[in-house]
Amino acid sequence: MDDDHQTLETPASGLVFVLSGPSGVGKSSLIERLKRDDFPITHCVTATTRPRRQGEEHGVHYYFLADAEYDALLEKGQFLEHAVVHNLYRYGIPLHSIRDALRRGQDVILAPDVQGASTVRWKLPNAISIFLRPPSLDELAPRLAARGTETTEERHIRLATAEREMQRVSEYDYVIVNHRDRLDQAVGDLKAIIVAERLRVCPRTVTL
Ligand code: ADP
């Protein structure tokens, strides 16, 4: 069956959740927990040219692509959104993974950075956006340091960016605070939002 034919027969439709917030706030940790709890939602993995960190798996945490592979997808218009982040590496959300999940009748969750989330909201106005914030900016520095995946210079760039990003919370539908050592609470809040959105009389479905 060719792709156009399939699109006509089964339009991809469902809920799209966009979980964003500054680097180090806990987006990946939240997504991990949804997976560990077998919460029924599909995480659409972002493609990136940044190097793989210890413990990260291709296709699970990110699609780790060489520059040429990334360029090929970009040229074919295969990204919902893409950007250079922190002037360093490129990140893009592959359209096909969202479409495939929606076609299977699954809702999806994306976890882009704040810049990416803004593009996704613009392209998919019905997407449900959730800003994950730390209790204060001071909380981010130790989290990034504890994660230990960036150089000191990279961490400084991320923290400076975070200060600006925190001003953008009003652009979102929901806000969750990820308090120190209380990830459980944030997980509960996220699940509550997802369940409530599914119970809407008129769900905010996205059709791709
Ligand atoms: P992001 O995906 O938003 O960049 P991560 O999920 O990688 O952030 O989290 C950054 C670091 O903070 C990780 O080392 C993670 O274990 C830690 N972390 C996440 N949530 C909490 C929390 N509630 N309290 C303390 N540390 C946390």
The pLDDT value given to residue 6: 52
Asked if residue 129 lies in contact with residue 175, where contact means CB atoms within 8 angstroms, the answer is: no
**Tens-place pLDDT, residues 26-71:** 999 999 999 999 999 999 999 999 999 888 999 988 999 999 999 9
Tokens, residue 203: 């769900």
Which residue among 29, 48, 136, 185 has the greatest number of ligand 1 atoms within 8 angstroms of its CB, and so is best to mutate? 29
| Alpha carbon nearest to ligand 1 atom 14, residue | 147
Ligand 1: lining residues by beta carbon, under 6 Å: 23-29, 143, 146-147, 178, 180-183
**Tens-place pLDDT, residues 132-180:** 999 999 999 999 999 888 889 989 999 999 999 999 999 999 999 999 9
Dihedral, CA atoms, 129, 135, 140, 145, nearest 10 degrees? Answer: -120
The pLDDT value given to residue 5: 53
Atom nearest to 183 CA in ligand 1: 23
Report pTM: 0.91
Domains and CATH numbers, the chain: 12-199 (3.40.50.300)
| Alpha carbon nearest to ligand 1 atom 12, residue | 143
Q: Which residues make Cβ contacts (< 8 Å) with residue 9, sequence separation at least 6? A: none
| Neighbouring-strand partners of residue 62 | 46, 58
Ligand 1 mean position, distance from CA 56 (Å): 15
Atom nearest to 30 CA in ligand 1: 6
Ligand 1 mean position, distance from CA 178 (Å): 9
The pLDDT value given to residue 24: 92
The whole-angstrom separation of Cα 176 and Cα 128 is 13
**Tens-place pLDDT, residues 60-89:** 889 999 999 999 999 999 999 999 987 789
> Can you give the chain as a three-state secondary structure string?
CCHHHHHHHCCCEECEEEEECCCCCCHHHHHHHHHHCCCCCEECCEEECCCCCCCCCECCCEEECCHHHHHHHHHCCCEEEEEEECCCEEEEEEHHHHHHHHHCCCCEEECCCHHHHHHHHHHCCCCEEEEEECCCHHHHHHHHHHHCCCCHHHHHHHHHHHHHHHHHHHHCCEEEECCCCCHHHHHHHHHHHHHHHHCCCCCCCEEC
Ligand 1 mean position, distance from CA 146 (Å): 9
Distance of CA 126 to the CA centre of its chain: 16
